[in-house]
Amino acid sequence: MQNNTFSGLFIGRNLITLKEVDSTNTFLKDALSKSKPFLDGTVIMADRQYSGRGQASNSWLSEAGKNLTFSVLLNPGFLPIERQFDLNMAISLALNDFLNKYTSGAASIKWPNDSYVGKKKIGGILIENIVHGNTIKHAIIGIGLNVNQENFPADLMNVTSLKQALHQDYNLMDLLGEICSIIESRYLQLKAGKTVKLRDEYLSQLYLKDTWALFRFDNEIQNGKIQGLSSIGQLILETANGLRYFNNKEIEFIN
């Protein structure tokens, strides 16, 4: 275990790098349940996760030492639980800001929080909240970003990395410092109540927005056009039968 600091930042001020761990999210969650007093903005980064977790109980596979797998602890006590999607928007936008800089604007956000470059997934976010009363006491922001990995398992369709997209290797610590700084800016916008701005920008970056495309819902592949988001972050889709509202995992993107 190693302790480091990104200068001038609140996020990453306390940086713990681990050679290997089951999951950086689980590590933080376990530490919090044992009342370990980690600073707000602590980042746990691992070279290797042997039980990395993704959305909806999927696993997150990442070649050791090649990619970024890390979790950020935030204490957004100002955020009521019914506004948890606003935090998701801020973090998704931060990763998108970072990726757009490297890919000259080829990045987008696949609802609710996948990072895409072109038509391929390059990163994912797993946010786990610990709620106290009506507010989010701790948010564990887990981020996996494919950086220098060149080959992916054959059954992982439609994935890419910065190296695959841009044919270059990157220094993981440098990228982590940059991402922490961008997350901090977006998080401070959220804290300052700039929700309308975050929502507008999130919508403008949404993969397949305003485009007829194929989706699977109600156990069928059907056409739909993303129109926007409900106040709690449900996806609003125009369909042959009118507008439909979907929660995460009720709808799958086919394109």
Which residues of this chain interact with ligand BTN, rule CB under 6 A? 23-25, 49, 52-55, 58, 60, 69-71, 114, 124-126, 142-144
Q: Residue 165 corresponds to which tokens in the numbers above? A: 């997209």
Which string of b and e fits 2-15 if b means at least 16 CB within 10 Å? eeeebeebbbbbbb
Q: Which is nearer to ligand BTN, 216 or 225 (CB)?
A: 216
Cβ–Cβ < 8 Å for 124, 58: no
Whole-number minimum distance, CB 190 to ligand BTN, in Å? 20
Q: Output the smallest distance, CB 171 to ligand BTN, in A.
A: 19
Q: Is the Cβ of residue 126 or residue 244 nearer to ligand BTN in the bound state?
A: 126
Closer residue to ligand BTN (CB): 76 or 112: 112
CB of 68 to ligand BTN, least distance (A): 8
The β-bridge relationship of strands 235-239 and 120-132 is unpaired
CB of 27 to ligand BTN, least distance (A): 8
Instruction: Go through 16-30 and write b for each residue having 16 or more CB atoms within 10 A of its CB, e for each that does not.
Output: bbbeebebbbbbbbe
Q: Are 237 and 224 in contact (CB under 8 A)?
A: yes
- The smaller minimum CB distance to ligand BTN, of residues 79 and 127, is found at 127
For β-strands 15-21 and 43-49, DSSP reports them as: parallel
Closest CB 146 distance from ligand BTN, rounded Å: 10
**Dist CA 143 CA 123 (whole Å):** 7
Residue nearest to ligand BTN (CB): 124
Q: Measured from the CB atom, is 54 or 228 closer to ligand BTN?
A: 54
Query: Of 175 and 244, which CB lies nearer to ligand BTN in the complex structure?
Result: 175
Query: From the CB of 55, what's the least distance to ligand BTN, in Å?
Result: 4
Nearest C-alpha neighbor of 176 from the set 62, 64, 26, 16: 16
